[in-house]
């Protein structure tokens, strides 16, 4: 039985790595599932894609749809057509998608229209904010998903409220955290560490890529000024996402302690987070990693689809108003930030649980062998 594992954009790669590993381990010991890794090409720069495959030991994709840049609709349409062609050439028994990027939704639609069952990893999370393309992707994907693999009880509850029968919801934990735990001992400092004078717990890491925060130069400039001032002159390392780079070109002056660097590979990025005093971000995945590493996380958004990182973890929603950042950072400097705890089942074994369930579900469909 053939499972298509779909990956398209940076946050997908760490989520598929443990699933691929579990699939090949199972195959090596006589398991029935074969798999085909499909890269949609939504992210294509080596720094956004290839380096993650190398560092995480993900094998080269069996197919690359090479969709590249475009509007949301252009990317969605291109991926749907490309994946449909692959399915026509060789039909698979299951399309496994992860996360909430455009590739996730596009492949789920192509598969389901050809009656290929869809399994969604990280299903059920909701920010309630329809201005985020990711929220539309989550809603659309989950509305046509057969099997829901979830990271939290919040996600389970969201799905049940939407009418999904409990028999189709599998609370398995978090594959992104599988990858983090498997690589904690391999994290390594970036080459620029000495040059920027980074000392453990005496620097900050920031990432910004949400359209609401980065699509206007004045807005980014205001946020970076607040970050620079709130960090009290300590170095702030800012790996710049390509989308943000386009806007930052038009910012006339950056605070002296904010250092722009290229997007970082996985092992270097998480090394930076692990040794930082705090992280300031508008990402979702980073709030999970910071929670597991016990690092204070200040999220520059008004909502989150991952409430467990706030209720249990080290994350707090500071919001998008730059004036809120200073008082929050004051609490970090005063040592008054919450310590947090690790959410249930974020134990490094989600990938194995997913493959256990998939094997059983697909065998049942195939006549119970
Ligand atoms: C995507 C995901 C988002 C995820 C983020 C992480 C969607 C809707 N959004 O947003 O959930 O958190 O990735 O990175 O899928 N670009 C490059 N090189 C690349 C990739 C992109 O230069 O390798 C450029 C594109 O041309 C575009 C911009 O970056 O101008 C944005 O890329 P896109 O894939 O549209 O979405 P992201 O903002 O990266």
Q: Is 134 in the pocket of ligand 1 (CB under 6 A)?
A: yes
| DSSP helix/strand/coil, 172 | coil
Report pLDDT for 265: 97
Mean pLDDT (whole number) for 75-99 = 98
Q: Is 242 in the pocket of ligand 1 (CB under 6 A)?
A: yes
Report pLDDT for 368: 58
For residue 79, the Cα-to-chain-centroid distance in whole angstroms is 19
Q: What CA–CA distance (Å, rounded) separates 183 from 75?
A: 32
Mean pLDDT (whole number) for 274-280 = 98
Report pLDDT for 286: 98
Q: Choose, from 39, 209, 241, 275, the residue flagged as catalytic.
A: 209
Q: Would you list the DSSP string of 60-107?
A: PPSEE----S--HHHHHHHHHHHHHHHHHHS--SEEEEETTSHHHHHH
Q: Is residue 209 flagged as an active site residue?
A: yes
Q: Is 301 in the pocket of ligand 1 (CB under 6 A)?
A: no
> Ligand 1: which atom is nearest the Cα of residue 69?
26
Percent of the chain with pLDDT over 70: 99
Select the more confidently predicted residue: 42 or 252. Answer: 42
pTM: predicted TM-score of the whole model, two decimal places: 0.96
Report pLDDT for 252: 86
Mean pLDDT (whole number) for 82-92 = 98
Confidence of residue 35 (pLDDT cuts 50, 70, 90): very high
Mean pLDDT (whole number) for 155-182 = 98
Residue 351 has pLDDT above 50, yes or no: yes
Residue 367 has pLDDT above 80, yes or no: no
Q: Please check whether residue 39 is in contact with residue 61, taking contact to mean a CB–CB distance below 8 angstroms.
A: yes
Confidence of residue 212 (pLDDT cuts 50, 70, 90): confident
Mean pLDDT (whole number) for 307-317 = 98
> Ligand 1: which atom is nearest the Cα of residue 47?
23
Ligand 1 mutation target, pool 67, 74, 241, most atoms within 8 A of CB: 241
Dihedral in degrees, nearest 10, Cα atoms 49, 55, 61, 65: 0
Q: Is 101 in the pocket of ligand 1 (CB under 6 A)?
A: yes
DSSP character at residue 362: H
Could you report the per-residue pLDDT of 99-126, keeping only the tens digit for each? 999 999 999 999 999 999 999 999 999 9
Query: What six digits make up the tokens of 100?
Result: 């909430």
DSSP character at residue 185: G
For residue 291, the Cα-to-chain-centroid distance in whole angstroms is 14
Residue 36 has pLDDT above 90, yes or no: yes
Report pLDDT for 258: 97
Confidence of residue 223 (pLDDT cuts 50, 70, 90): very high
> Which helix (H) or strand (E) segment is 200 a member of?
none
């Amino acid at each position: 039985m053939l499972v298509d594992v779909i990956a398209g954009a940076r946050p997908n790669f760490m989520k598929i790595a443990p699933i691929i590993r579990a699939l090949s381990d199972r195959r090596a010991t006589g398991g029935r599932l074969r798999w085909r890794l499909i890269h949609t090409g939504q992210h294509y720069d080596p720094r956004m894609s290839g380096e993650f495959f190398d560092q995480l030991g993900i094998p080269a994709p069996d197919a690359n749809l090479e969709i590249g840049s475009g509007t949301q609709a252009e990317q969605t349409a291109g991926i749907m057509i490309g994946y449909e062609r692959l399915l026509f050439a060789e039909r698979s028994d299951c399309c496994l998608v992860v996360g909430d990027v455009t590739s996730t939704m596009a492949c789920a639609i192509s598969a389901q229209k050809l009656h290929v069952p869809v399994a969604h990893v990280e299903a059920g999370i909701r920010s309630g904010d329809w201005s985020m393309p990711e929220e539309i992707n989550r809603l659309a994907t989950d509305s046509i998903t057969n099997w829901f693999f979830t990271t939290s009880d919040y996600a389970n509850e969201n799905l049940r409220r939407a009418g999904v029968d409990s028999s189709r919801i599998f609370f398995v934990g978090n594959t992104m955290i599988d990858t983090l735990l498997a690589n904690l001992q391999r994290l390594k400092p970036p080459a620029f560490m000495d040059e920027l004078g980074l000392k453990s717990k005496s620097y900050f890491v920031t990432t910004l890529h949400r359209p609401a925060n980065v699509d206007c130069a004045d807005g980014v400039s205001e946020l970076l000024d607040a970050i620079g001032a709130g960090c009290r002159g300590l170095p702030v390392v800012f790996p710049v996402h390509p989308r943000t780079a386009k806007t930052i070109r038009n910012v006339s002056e950056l605070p002296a302690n904010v250092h722009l660097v290229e997007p970082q590979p996985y092992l270097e990025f998480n090394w930076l987070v692990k040794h930082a005093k705090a992280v300031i971000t508008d990402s979702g995945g980073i709030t999970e990693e910071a929670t597991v590493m016990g690092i204070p996380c200040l999220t520059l958004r008004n909502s989150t689809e991952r409430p467990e990182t706030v209720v249990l973890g080290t994350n707090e929603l500071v919001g998008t108003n730059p004036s809120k950042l200073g008082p929050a950072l004051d609490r970090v400097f005063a040592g008054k930030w919450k310590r947090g705890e690790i959410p249930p089942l974020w134990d490094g074994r989600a990938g194995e649980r997913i493959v256990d369930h998939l094997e059983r579900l697909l065998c049942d469909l195939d006549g119970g062998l």
